[in-house]
Structure 1
Amino acid sequence: WQLSYDGRKNVPLTLPMKFPLLLVQGAEGIAVGLSTKILPHNFCVLIDASIKYLRGKKFELYPDFMIGGMIDVAG
């Protein structure tokens, strides 16, 4: 922690973890010899998973299909 620019409040120097923005937005692209497609995830689910991670609890994340869809994660 350090004092803010005007010295009235304490602000953190570093946060305990970076927010996984890549999982929220998703990504799709082609590079030399490979391609990637990371599906976007639900924002609220990622917040809950981040809290569980910081508390040392287990969590599972699955992609969010914004236009509808189904996924089988049964092993």
Structure 2
Amino acid sequence: MVVHLNAIGPVSLVIIGVVALLIFGPKKLPELGKALGSTLREFKKGTSGLIDDEDTKKTVIEHKDIDKDKENK
């Protein structure tokens, strides 16, 4: 199941904000926002490393295929 951020409208964001405010209170909400931001930042750093690894693996495999083609000729 894929959920696109475009599917969340402004009304939904307001409702989510009000519910979060009621649950956590106005003092805890900024702390939670900071924690969420740092978590997302770390996740992006981790996934960008994986993407770089995949690109490197793909490049190595392509070079191996080129070397095999050269040997076969």
Normalised by the shorter chain, which TM-score bucket? under 0.3
- Provide the TM-score with structure 2 as the length reference: 0.19
Q: Which has the higher contact order (CA 8 A, sep 6+)?
A: 1
TM-score (norm 1): 0.19
Higher strand fraction (1 or 2):
1
Larger Rg: 2
- Between structures 1 and 2, the one with greater helix share: 2
